[in-house]
Amino acid sequence: MITNENIPTMEEWKRLYELMEQVKLLAPWEYMFEDEVFGYEMPATGELGFVSVMGNLGEHFAVAVYQGIKGLNGFFYIHEMGDKLDPESILQVPQLQASFEDREYLSDGERKIIKTLGLKFRGKNAWPQFRGFRPNYIPWHLEGDEVRMLTCGLEQLLDVAPRFDENPDIFTPTGLEDDYLLRVQKDGIWQDVIWKNPGMEKDKPIDMQISADDLAEIKSRMPGNFIIEIDLYRMDEPVQEKKNSRPYFPYMLMMADHDSGMILAVGVMKPVPDLAMMIQQSLMKIISALISSPPKEIRVKNQSLYSMLMPIGEYAGFKVNQVARLSSIEQAEREMRKFSRGLGF
């Protein structure tokens, strides 16, 4: 949610729209490809942004700023996967986008800002639009710090793009794959330096806060009697808890008895503030259900669940298997969809 301290000012919006006009006149997509990337460092925070220009095919003109090392590596992962990419993966890459759209794709708020600034745009692919992508959220309007970061990225693009047009080798200053042109400010002056990508950042380990008493209780009930299916998956419909807050995609946690189809536990989980916290909360629900229904085997599709439950199974004395289908949970999902359609959802 945008706090009062993080609302962009009209002066910040004005500067961003001015830069978009300059980018449009420069038309860097005529000589830059999407995978030709350079970086910059925010003077106040040290945060890294990596600029990519889209539109070389003449269809959709946009500038993306991939945020941090995670954003940069996520961008290249998307390119490497190509047609094999899971569309959900795109939403996991932190980025800011400035694009040129048709008027009907703008929100009422965006039209209001444009009117307040006295700006006029006409025609197709002529209306600037700005969006922020955060993992587990839908693309949303920019907050103040995002506006400032995108503004800095567009300013650096206006400096770098004409130089790239004359000499494309400036993006590969050493010829090494992991070395990038990075723009940094020193003593108030922007300079080019060489930056080396350290590679993929490791995800934070999930804090498996399970009480010794709970583990001992599950172990004391072995051998269990149930084959239990467990799944944790992202739901398709986003949730917006408050007006103007950033909508997120909730997850569904479901546990079912494989043989009877009886649902043992179900819950909607919030992937905020991050996935690690959600998985930890999901684990607490799972442990509680396993105490009530001690398993002889657990079946999962989700790799995170498999990795999380394997050591618990080894300690307590039940099997954990990763499978392609969870028949009882899939049946329950079908029934839930029928019920929702019956209510008109």
Q: Using 50 as the pLDDT threshold, list the residues of the chain that sit under it.
A: 1-3, 344-345
Which of 186-202 are b and which e, b meaning 16 or more Cβ less than 10 Å from the residue's Cβ?
eeeebeeeebebeeeee
Whether domain 212-342 has CATH 3.30.420: the reply is yes
Q: What is the model's pLDDT at position 1?
A: 43
Compute the distance between CA of residue 51 and CA of residue 64 in angstroms, rounded to an integer: 6
| Residue 255 confidence (pLDDT) | 95
Using CB atoms within 10 Å of the CB of residue 333, give its burial: 0 to 12 exposed, 13 to 18 middle, 19+ buried. middle
Q: Could you tell me the sign of the dihedral formed by the alpha carbons of 274, 280, 284, 289, in that order? A: positive
pLDDT at 204: 55
Q: Where in the chain are all domains bearing CATH 3.30.420?
A: 212-342
- Rounded Cα–Cα distance for residues 269 and 281 (Å): 8
Find the Cα–Cα–Cα–Cα dihedral 97, 99, 103, 108, rounded to 10°: 20
> CB–CB of 149/47 below 8 Å?
yes
Backbone angles phi, psi at 264, to 5 degrees: -95, -30
Question: Residue 242: is it exposed, middle or buried by C-beta count within 10 angstroms (0-12/13-18/19+)?
Answer: exposed
Predicted local confidence at residue 151, as pLDDT: 98
- Whole-number pLDDT of residue 203: 56
